[in-house]
Chain A
Amino acid sequence: MKSYGLVIAIIMLLSGCNTPNDKQTSIEKNQWSPKYAKGFSFEKKDGITYLNIKNPWPGSIYTQQFALISKEKDLKKASTAIKIPLKRWATSSTSHVGFAQELDEINSLKAISRTSYVSSKDVQNRIENNEIRELGQSNQPDVEWMISNQIEAFFNFSIGDNSAEFTVLEKAGVPVIYIGEWSEQHPLARAEWIKVFGLLFDKQKQADSIFLKIEEDYLQWSERAKTQDTSPKIISGSLYNGIWYAPQKDSYMQKFYEDAHLDYIWKDLEYTGSLQLDMEFVFGTAKNASIWLNSSEFQSIEPLMKLHPLIPKLSAVQKNKVYNTLKTNSSKGVLFYEKGVVRPDLVLKDLIQIGHPQLFKDHKLQFFAKLDR
C-alpha cells in the first residue's frame, strides 16, 4: 500500500509541476482540450461537433457526450443530439446564470432552481415578470414543467442525485448536461467552462474572446501582485459550533490567495473536504494574521466576536480587516457564486486590492465587503 501511495504521490508531484501556463491548447485529430479545465473537451467527427463532459463531480468516472447540431435535418444523426443554439434552457445553479450573462443569454433562460439565490437584478426582474420560473429544489427539479414547456436542455450541477427525474427528462428529449465547473481546482479552469456555454449558445468565438481577456487580466494582475515584496498573512473560513471550516490545500480558493500574493496560513494542511480546525489551533497559528477572508454570513464584527472568546484577540479582528463575500446586485443571492465563477479576474483583483491596496488605487471591491465595526 505504501508503495502505491509513493507512486501516486510522485505522479501528482510531477503533474503538479505542469502549471496551466505551460499547457497548450491541443488541436489534434479534430480533438480540442481546454487549457485549464479538466471536465470537458470537444471533438469533431463527420462534420459534427461533440461536447464531452468528463468526471463532473470529484472522483467520478462518469462521462457524457452530446452531438451539437445546428440543422434540424441532422438531429437524427446522433442519439444524444442537442439542437444549437439553445433557445430555451433551465438550470439548477446560479453560477450558470453568471456564464449566460457574460454571453448575453439571459433571454433564453426559462427556469432556475431556488430563484431566491440569484443575485442578478436583470434575472430577478424577469423572475418577477414570470419570464423565468422557479424550478424547485435542485435535487428535485420540476420535471413536469420542463417537459410541458419544451425546455431544450437542463444544466445540472448536482452530483448525480435524482437520476430517475433525469431519466424521464432524457426520455422526453430534454438532455441533462452536467456542468462540473465547481469541481475544477483552478479559478481559470472554472471560468473556462464559458466555452461550453459558448458552444451551446452558438457563440463560440465570443466565449473564446471573453475567456482570453479574463485569462490575460488574471495572469497580468497576478504577476503584478507577485512583484510586491511583502505577502500579507491571511486566514480564511468561518467558525461554526466551535469548529473552524477553512479552504483546504489545492482548493480553488487557495489558488486565488496564492495568485493574489497572499500568505494563507494553513496552505500546507491536507484534508479531505474542507479543513476543520479546532479554535485553539486557529488561535495558536493565526493570531498574527492581518486579514480574515470569507468570514461567513456576518455583516458586522460584533456578532462575530461573540462566537468565541478567542476571536476578539485575533489580529485581523483587532485591525478591523475582516471580509465576507456576501455582496449582491439585488437584495438576494451572492454575487461571488454567480459572477465570481466566470470572472475570476475580478475576484483576484478584489483580493489584490485587499492585500496590496497600493496596486489598484481606484478599484472598488465587487465581491468582498469589509465587515462593519
Chain B
Amino acid sequence: MSIKTSHTRLFLYLILGLIVLFCTNVFLGSIHISIEEFFRGLYDASSTNHLIIHAVRIPKALSSILIGIGLGLAGFLMQILFRNPLSGPYVLGVTTGGSLGAALFILGSALFSFGFIHPKFGIPLFSSLGSLAVLAMILVVYKRIKDPMTLLITGILFSSISGAVISLLAYFSSAERLREFVFWSYGSTHLMNTYELFLLALSCVLCFVFALKNAKPLEAFLAGDVMAKTLGVDVDKIRFQIIIFTGLTVGVLTAFAGPIAFVGLVVPHISRQILKTSNVRLQLISVSLIGSLFVLACDVVATLPGSALSLPINAVTSIIGAPILLFIVIKTKRFIF
C-alpha cells in the first residue's frame, strides 16, 4: 500500500487534532479546574480532582472515541454492503433491535417481571439480545435470499416491527418508565466502566481488523458483484461477514451508548470528501480518526462546560454533523462516493 504524502500529512493532522480534542474533552467539564490543579489531579491520588479526571472525564472521553470509531466503521461497511451512500448502521435494523431489547426491559418490566434484574445489567443485556435477535433473523433471511435489496427491505421491515412494538410498550407504560426510555434513546457518551469500555474497544478492533484484512475484496465488492467475482472475491461470504461484524459492533454500541444518530452516516462521507480515494485501508484509518474526532467534539459541546446541564448527544451529532458535511460538499463542489 503506497501512502501519498498528502494522506500522511492528513493523518498526522487528524492524530494531532485527536490529541488536542481528547485533552480539551478531559480538561473541560461541569466544574472549572485550573491548569495547575488539573496536572496535580492527573498524578496526585489524594486530590479530589484526581477522581473527577480519572473516574469521570477520561472514561467519558475514551467512550466517545470508541463510539466514534465503531459507528464510523459500521456506517462505512454498510455503505459498501449496499453500495448506497444513504446507508448507515441503522439500515440493518440492528440498532432498532437493540432499542426494542432496551424497551422490553425498561417499559416492559412491569408486564414481564424483569424487576429482579438491576438496570445496570438489564439494559445492556436486553439491548444486546435485541440486536443479536434481529441480526440472527437477518442472517436467516439472507441465507435464503442472497440479494442486497432484499436485505435492505428486511432491515427496514425489522425496524418497522421493532418500532411498532416499542410504541405499544410505550403506550402501556408508566410515566417514570417512559421517561427512562426516552432518556436512554437520546444516546449517551456517559461514563462507562472498564468492562464496558473493553467490550466496546473489542468490538471496534474486531470490526477494524476484519475490514483491514479484507480491504482488497471490499474494494472489488464496491465495483459490483460481477467485477468482484471476476477478481475472485467470494461475494456471498464477504457480504455475510460484513453483516456479522457490523451487526455485532452496532449491537454492543447500542447496548452501552444507546442509539446514537447520524455519526455512522456522516463520518464515512466526510472521510471520502477529504481523503478523495477509494482505497479501503486508508479510508478505514481516516473513518476511525474522523469518527473519534467528531464524537469527541460533539461531546465537548453536549457537556456544556461550566454548566450542570448537558445536551443529548443525539441532537448534537445531527446539529453539528449536517452543516459540516454540507460545507465540505459545497467546498469540493461534488459528492464523492
Partner-B contacts on A (CB < 8 A): 55, 57-62, 111, 133-137, 139-145, 147-148, 158-165, 167-168, 171-172, 182, 272-274, 276
Known: A139-B179, A160-B118, A171-B51. 4 other contacts (CB 8 A): A137-B183, A148-B49, A161-B119, A161-B183
The stretch of B107-115, B205-213, B218-226, B272-280 that contacts the partner chain: B107-115
Interface of chain A: mostly helix, strand, loop or mixed: loop
Q: Which residues of A contact B13 (CB under 8 A)?
A: none
Question: Whole-angstrom distance from the CB of B146 to the nearest CB of chain A?
Answer: 41
Q: Which residues of A contact B184 (CB under 8 A)?
A: 161
Contact A145 B308 (CB under 8 A): yes
- Chosen A-B contacts, 14 in total, with CB atoms closer than 8 Å, are A60-B116, A62-B118, A111-B308, A134-B308, A140-B188, A140-B190, A142-B308, A148-B31, A148-B48, A159-B180, A167-B193, A172-B48, A272-B110, A272-B174
Complex CA gap A120/B184 in Å reads 30
Please judge, given known A-B contacts A142-B30, A161-B119, A161-B180, whether A168 and B308 are in contact too, CB under 8 Å. Answer: no
Contact A144 B29 (CB under 8 A): yes
Complex CA gap A148/B50 in Å reads 10
Question: Whole-angstrom distance from the CB of A273 to the nearest CB of chain B?
Answer: 4
Complex CA gap A163/B57 in Å reads 16
Q: Which residues of B contact A274 (CB under 8 A)?
A: 174-175
Complex CA gap A136/B312 in Å reads 12
Q: Which residues of B contact A162 (CB under 8 A)?
A: 190
B36 at the interface (CB under 8 A from A): no
Q: Which residues of A contact B172 (CB under 8 A)?
A: 272-273, 276
Contact B190 A165 (CB under 8 A): yes
Complex CA gap A182/B116 in Å reads 19
Contact A276 B171 (CB under 8 A): yes
Contact A59 B110 (CB under 8 A): yes
Residue in contact with A147 in the complex, picked from B48, B110, B113, B180, CB distance below 8 Å: B48
Question: Whole-angstrom distance from the CB of A253 to the nearest CB of chain B?
Answer: 13
Contact B193 A164 (CB under 8 A): yes
Complex CA gap A247/B164 in Å reads 25
Q: Which residues of B contact A273 (CB under 8 A)?
A: 110, 172-175, 177
Contact B180 A134 (CB under 8 A): no
Q: Which residues of A contact B177 (CB under 8 A)?
A: 159, 273
Contact B193 A139 (CB under 8 A): no
Contact A159 B308 (CB under 8 A): no
Q: Which residues of A contact B175 (CB under 8 A)?
A: 273-274
Contact B308 A133 (CB under 8 A): yes
Contacting residues of chain B (11-54) with chain A, CB-CB under 8 angstroms: 29-31, 48-49, 51-52
Number of residues from B at the complex interface, CB < 8 A = 41
Q: Which 7 A-B pairs have the closest CB atoms?
A: A59-B115, A163-B120, A160-B119, A164-B191, A136-B308, A142-B308, A273-B174
B244 at the interface (CB under 8 A from A): no
Residue in contact with B30 in the complex, picked from A55, A145, A167, CB distance below 8 Å: A145
- Smallest CB-CB separation from B52: which chain A residue? A144
Q: Which residues of A contact B30 (CB under 8 A)?
A: 136, 142, 144-145
Question: Whole-angstrom distance from the CB of A111 to the nearest CB of chain B?
Answer: 8
Q: Which residues of A contact B48 (CB under 8 A)?
A: 147-148, 172
Contact B191 A165 (CB under 8 A): yes
- Smallest CB-CB separation from A142: which chain B residue? B308
Complex CA gap A187/B52 in Å reads 40
Contact B180 A139 (CB under 8 A): yes
Question: Whole-angstrom distance from the CB of A367 to the nearest CB of chain B?
Answer: 19
Contact B111 A148 (CB under 8 A): no
Complex CA gap A172/B183 in Å reads 25
B55 at the interface (CB under 8 A from A): yes
Q: Which residues of A contact B179 (CB under 8 A)?
A: 139
Complex CA gap A190/B51 in Å reads 36
Question: Whole-angstrom distance from the CB of A63 to the nearest CB of chain B?
Answer: 11
Complex CA gap A147/B41 in Å reads 13
Question: Whole-angstrom distance from the CB of A249 to the nearest CB of chain B?
Answer: 14
B74 at the interface (CB under 8 A from A): no
Question: Whole-angstrom distance from the CB of B167 to the nearest CB of chain A?
Answer: 13
Residue in contact with B116 in the complex, picked from A61, A133, A142, A159, CB distance below 8 Å: A61
- Smallest CB-CB separation from A272: which chain B residue? B110
Complex CA gap A229/B172 in Å reads 37
B309 at the interface (CB under 8 A from A): yes
Contact B119 A159 (CB under 8 A): yes
Please judge, given known A-B contacts A137-B309, A161-B119, A165-B191, whether A57 and B176 are in contact too, CB under 8 Å. Answer: yes
Residue in contact with A134 in the complex, picked from B116, B183, B309, CB distance below 8 Å: B309
- Smallest CB-CB separation from A182: which chain B residue? B176
Question: Whole-angstrom distance from the CB of A174 to the nearest CB of chain B?
Answer: 10
Complex CA gap A148/B52 in Å reads 8
